[in-house]
Amino acid sequence: MLVAAAVCPCPPLLVPEVAAGAAPELDAARTACADALGLLAAARPDLLVVVAPADETGPVRYAQGTPGSFSGFGVDREVTLGPAAEGGAAAGTLPPSLAVAGWLLERAGWADAPIEGLTVGEPLTAERCIQVGSDIAARAERVALLVMGDASACRTVKAPGYLDERAEPFDAQVARALGSADLAALKELDAGLAHELKVSGRAPWQVLAGAAEGADLSGTLLYEDAPYGVGYLVATWS
């Protein structure tokens, strides 16, 4: 059963080495993410599953200790998805969203429970996302989720998707849903609109909604902002 969840954004700019001189601009987001991971540790889960967006439809699974890096962003910085499991690092390479999660877990000194990674792509339907979440929640008696994903990328004219007047209301809807653990609102997110607004978090958030069914969790919104014209949200469910 799901006992706790943390929702964090996944821009590589969260990693100070990647952000370089602009690093202080996301200090508040980093602090909120650290607080959210602290809640996950306090929940004492038997299993932590990290759910993140990726290009493949998925779901694609990644073992604890899978390596990743930020070399694609011009930075020689390597990470793993949690501490390497006994026997050495797992095979494969983390996509950027899970590499950011690996950095957050490293920064938090995570050693509280086994970790698994799972990516879900934009084409995955809401129904499938919800089923994936339900299956995750049944994996152990006490399951925690770290859910990675960004809101719209169309909040300003300098945003990656330029300015779209629908972006701010969409992000506000998501913020309300995450801040109140509103499962119905997350399940009903418009996948077509999310695609048009370049939202990477829609599928991971709907996995969370499926995992939380029957769990009676309450939500808290820790951070909401749109630096660089992209919506970043941090929330906790417990």
- Among 114, 105, 107, smallest CA distance to 52 is for 105
pLDDT over threshold 90, residue 87: no
Say if residue 59 is preceded by a cis peptide, omega within 30 of 0: yes
User: What does the pLDDT look like over 187-206, one tens digit per residue?
Assistant: 999 999 999 999 999 999 99
**What distance in Å separates the CA atoms of residue 67 and residue 31, rounded to the nearest whole number?**
24
Three-state SS letters, the chain: CEEEEEEECCCHHHCHHHHHHHHHHHHHHHHHHHHHHHHHHHCCCCEEEEEEEECCCCCEEEECCCEEECHHHCCCCEEECCCCCCCCCCCCCCCHHHHHHHHHHHHHCCCCCCEEEEEEECCCCHHHHHHHHHHHHCCCCCEEEEEECCCCCCCCCCCCCCCCCCHHHHHHHHHHHHHHCCHHHHHCCCHHHHHHCCCCCHHHHHHHHHHCCCCCCCEEEEEEECHHHCCEEEEEEC
CA distance 186 to 145: 16
8 Å CB contact between 11 and 18: no
pLDDT category of residue 88 using cuts at 50, 70 and 90: low
Q: What average pLDDT does this structure show over 34-49?
A: 97
Q: What is the pTM of this model?
A: 0.96
Average per-residue pLDDT for the chain: 95
Distance CA 198, CA 90 (A): 31
The residue among 59, 66, 203, 80 whose CA lies nearest residue 139 is: 59
Cα separation, 236 vs 194, whole angstroms: 22
Has residue 91 got a pLDDT over 70? no
Going by C-alpha positions, the residue among 36, 41, 6, 1 that lies closest to residue 149 is 6
Query: What top-level class would CATH report for the domain 2-237?
Result: alpha beta
| Mean pLDDT computed over 153-161 | 95
